Structure 1
Amino acid sequence: MMNMGKGSIRTRQEACYYLGVREDSSIDEIKKAYHTLAKMYHPDINPRADVKDYYIKVCESYEYLMQYPVYCTQANNSNMYSNRQGNTMQRSSRIFQSNAQVREQYRKQKMLEAERKKKQERDTQERQKRAEARYEHFTVKQPKSKEEEVLDKIRAIWLAETIKRQIALDQEKKEAEQKRKLYQAFMQQKLQEEQEQDSH
């Protein structure tokens, strides 16, 4: 095989193009394709001037594929995939940690809210108890002294006398009203009798 020096082939896709093979072809398939093309386009066999350049490309492609076989490319792809997978896992881990922190903060916030609510309920119950205690203190009848008992009796007597006087006044008013009505009826009847006598 000719020594091509520094080749112009830069990618596996380009090398496979000149050899007419797939990018996932095995070494045996690459060698077979190379030997077939070498027999067809070798300068000693085919003296055409334009064939020489193509033959050089074929040789460079073969050297490139032998130097970088398919399993190396697969390994590189595997490493790239592993790196991407590792980066993805790292990102997922960071996201999970972030979500875990958010969940923890939410849980703590809920606990604080629950404690604050319980404290408010306890304070409300205590205020209600204090209010009930004050109400009971003012509503419970305290024992009265003798002076207060005497005053209560005097008030009761005064209230009874006042009620009696009011009843008597009401009775007098009713009697006076009845007398007035009787007098009006008497006068009206007398007036009618006088009018009848005058008419006769």
Structure 2
Amino acid sequence: MDENDVVTLVVRHQPKPGEESSYESWLRRITRIAAGYPGHLGVNVIRDGRHFVCVLRFSSTPLLQAWLDSAERQQLIEEVTPLLVESEQTEVDVGREFWFTPTPSTPPLRWKQACITFLVILPLSLLVPHLWQPLFTLVPWLGGYLPSNVLITLSIVLLVVYLFMPRVTALFAHWLNAR
């Protein structure tokens, strides 16, 4: 594992019944504090029924470890433990990306995942080929069947994975997780 790889920390919590508002206050506080640590790249909080999943990204493993080992975090974990059904569950992965709710419970229904994926890919499949057209005109061999399809497909995949899908799934998270 390269110490400069983006690393993702996934934390799962389930507050005790009646402790949800106290837990949410604590969660707002800890995410604000984590954001102040070096290397913090962002956090997404996903609520799936009574479960909360926090996905924190750091720019490197040592910087994530500094947050995990910090006295501030340890104190906050001690503070929240009485509010939880069980102790927190954590998982660390290098370069991990989540499109859909990363919970051990049920993922979104496949037809909803298909709708969101279609919503993202259709406009790109109509737009991206036109954006490449000027280059294909300037460099005719790039406009051939195989090179053009490779460039167009690669462009769409990269745009979907890194730009659009994370934002669209966050925007539609409530609908994706509704049963």
TM-score norm. by structure 1 comes to: 0.16
After TM superposition, the score normalised by the length of structure 2 is 0.17
Higher relative contact order (CA 8 A, sep 6+): 2
**Which of the pair is proportionally richer in strand?**
2
Max Rg structure: 1
Larger % of helix: which?
1
